[in-house]
Structures are given as structure tokens and as C-alpha cells.
Structure 1
Amino acid sequence: MLAERETNPVRDGHFKLTLEMFEALSNAGHFADAHVELLDGEIFVKGLQSQEYAYAIQNLSQLFYQRFANRAVIRPQLPLVLLNPPPDFVEPDLALLNLPPSQYKTRNANAADALLVIEVSDSTLERDQTAKLRAYARNNIPEYWILNLHTQQLEVMREPSGEEYLLTRKYKVGQSVALLEFPDVPLEWW
């Protein structure tokens, strides 16, 4: 079944794009003015950013650059290729990747490079908590965080297994959390 999902773009009466098709469309300039993602064979256009969303990305980026600039590569809203079937092409709001940064000059980062992926969720909350969670877990990304702007909570998922994470914990404003990779660096959630 997995091999069929990879090679057969027609599933359940719907046409699903392969990663190769998506990349060909992108290289031909079809997405030139849009931020798009390929998730389970479907194209999602990322909408306009609300002020609250933009502010959260700004704060996250600043915090992670201050704390981890010499320990990991910090990539806000840049491509991450997920190769486990079906292949996906996503742009997480923030990703922490293995060093050195020079390796990403000639290739996109992929799931094996990722230490942490963060999505800031307002209008994308349902997709971030379902389809993206499954994709990140399926690709063994060790840690997935959702900054839920609706509840003002940080949802931390760890221990990927199949298409789920075995450990989930929610943090409220003012609570501290540390990454699995860097337990010596607590981050206070604003």
C-alpha cells in the first residue's frame, strides 16, 4: 500500500501530486508569488499573516537565534522535505536543524536534519494538529511544537511513533520548556 501511495497519484477518486510533480510546477514558476506546501499530495497556499502571527514568528526567531545560534541552524519559514511516504514539502514556521549551515546551500533540509519543528497556529490549527502532526511523526522528527494562538499555549509533542507522538504536554504563558536536544537551555514561554 505504501508503494502504491508513492507511485500512484490517483487515490480515492482524487488526483494527488507527487513531490516530483510539485517541484516541476514550482520550478516552472507556478507558485512564484505564493508560499505553498505539499501535504499528503495536496497543495496548500499559506494565507496572509495576521499581526499576532507575525509577532509570534518574530519573537520565536529572535529567541531561538539568541539561545541557539551557535548550536543549531535556525530556519524560519523555509522548505523542509519530508521523504517518508507520501513525500511532503512544507515550510514550518521555525525549524531547528543540525549544523553546519553550509550543507543547506545546495539542498533543501529534510526530516533527518530536524531537531525541532514549530508551527504557529491561528487559522491553520486543525491542519497543524492533524495532517502536519502525522507527517512530522511519520518522518521521525523528534520534537514538534505548536504555538496555539487561540489558547495562548505551547503544545509540545515528543517521541514519534508511526503517525503520532506518544508524549504531549501543554505549557501556559510563563512556564519554561527545554528542547530534548538542549536540556540545559530553558525557554520561558511568553
Structure 2
Amino acid sequence: MVALKKWKVDELLAIDKAGLLNPEKRVELIEGELYEMPIGENHASILMRLNSILVPQFAGRALVNIQNPLRLGEFGLPQPDLALLEPSPDFYAQRHPEPSNVYLLIEIADSTLKYDQEVKLPSYARNGVREVWIVDVAAGQTLVYRNPQGSGYQTLEVVPAGQPIHPSAFPEDAILPL
């Protein structure tokens, strides 16, 4: 059996800085493995709609981060679809945000539900991301994961389309992902 190289975040960042990654390809690092992430029209539409809702709703209270890296230790640099982050005066210019900076992370699963649940979600839990929503487009529902423990979450709530969800960090706010 041939062992594959386990990539480190710093290595990937150096390769990117050197211009060796194809800028037209979206890649993310999960547990030392590189994954290419395509984005379909339905996925892009939901992301744009959420962005247009969340930016004004959380202005001054949280930063809305769209498909930008989140540093998960030495071997993780995923690009979640959307993250609500703690405000930072420099907008994270000196470093990528880390799990302690994340109020809420949202993944939109148009064709990636299995990948989001079996690859990304356990990594988010292991690294202490407090709350993750997976918008399951095909099923018309949002899976709300809270309270990470080990490589999973202690609570899962399935919320049908059209029903508001209240993020734990902002219980007075309601969001309609679908």
C-alpha cells in the first residue's frame, strides 16, 4: 500500500502563495487531505440569498465570512460556505479564523451531503466548532448540529424548510436557511 502525503496548513498556504494552485479550482484541506469542491447554481443561489440576509442582520455583531478558510489545527483548512465570526478589528488580516472565533458555520449541501456529514462535520466537531448547520437542499431541510464532543455532536435538530432557526450565539435572531 502506498501512503499518501498528509498535507499541513502551512504547506498548503506556501504552495498557494507561490501561485502553484489553480485559482479556478476551489480546494480545501481536511485532516491533511486535499479535496476539490465544485459549486453548482442552486448552491450558489442559496449562498447569495443567505449572505444578503445575514450581512445586515448581524452588522456590528458578527462578520459574515463566505467560502473563506477556517484554520483547524495543523492539518485543516476547510472553506465552509458561510461562517458567522467574532468581529476582528483587522478582519483576520494576520491569520485565518479558528474554531474559537466561529459563532455559527453553515454548509450548503446540494450534491455534497455525504461529504459534509462524513468528512467535514467530524473534523469540525474534533476541532470544537460549536454549531454547524448543513442545509440539505434535496430534502428541503436544515440539519442543526450543536455541542461538539469527540468527532460528533451531542444534539441534532432537523428543521424543515420555512421554519426559522435561532443560532445559539444569537438566540433572539431567526434565520430561514431554506
* Match of residue 125 from structure 2: 137
Poorly superposed stretches of 4+, deviation over 3 Å: none
CA distance in 2, matches of 1:144, 1:23: 25
The CA deviation string for residues 99-132 of structure 1, in whole angstroms up to 9 with x for no partner, is 1352412221111211111111122211100111
Pick aligned residue for 1:39 from 16, 30, 49? 30
Q: Is the 8 A contact 2:83 2:105 kept in 1?
A: yes
Structure 2 unaligned blocks of 5 or more: none
TM-score by length of 1: 0.87
How many angstroms does 1:87 deviate by? Answer: 2.1
1:50 maps onto 2:13 in alignment: no
CA distance in 2, matches of 1:35, 1:105: 20
Pick aligned residue for 1:81 from 60, 64, 71? 71
Specify the code of the residue in structure 1 equivalent to 2:29. L
CA distance in 2, matches of 1:160, 1:12: 33
Q: Is the 8 A contact 2:7 2:75 kept in 1?
A: no
How many angstroms does 1:45 deviate by? Answer: 1.4
* Match of residue 103 from structure 2: 115
The CA deviation string for residues 115-150 of structure 1, in whole angstroms up to 9 with x for no partner, is 111111122211100111111111111100001111
| Comparing 18-27 and 179-188, the one that deviates more | 18-27
Specify the code of the residue in structure 2 equivalent to 1:123. S
3-state SS, counterpart of residue 77 of structure 2: strand
Q: Compare the two structures and name the one with the higher strand fraction.
A: 1
The CA deviation string for residues 2-25 of structure 1, in whole angstroms up to 9 with x for no partner, is xxxxxxxxx983322122222222
**Compared CA separation, residues 168 and 101, structure 1 to 2 (3 A):** farther
Identity %: 32
* Match of residue 134 from structure 2: 146
CA distance in 2, matches of 1:36, 1:184: 35
* Match of residue 126 from structure 1: 114
CA distance in 1, matches of 2:149, 2:88: 28
- The CA RMSD over aligned residues, in Å, is 1.7
Q: Is the 8 A contact 1:77 1:91 kept in 2?
A: yes
CA distance in 2, matches of 1:111, 1:189: 22
| Comparing 33-42 and 97-106, the one that deviates more | 97-106
* Match of residue 7 from structure 1: none
CA distance in 2, matches of 1:92, 1:177: 19
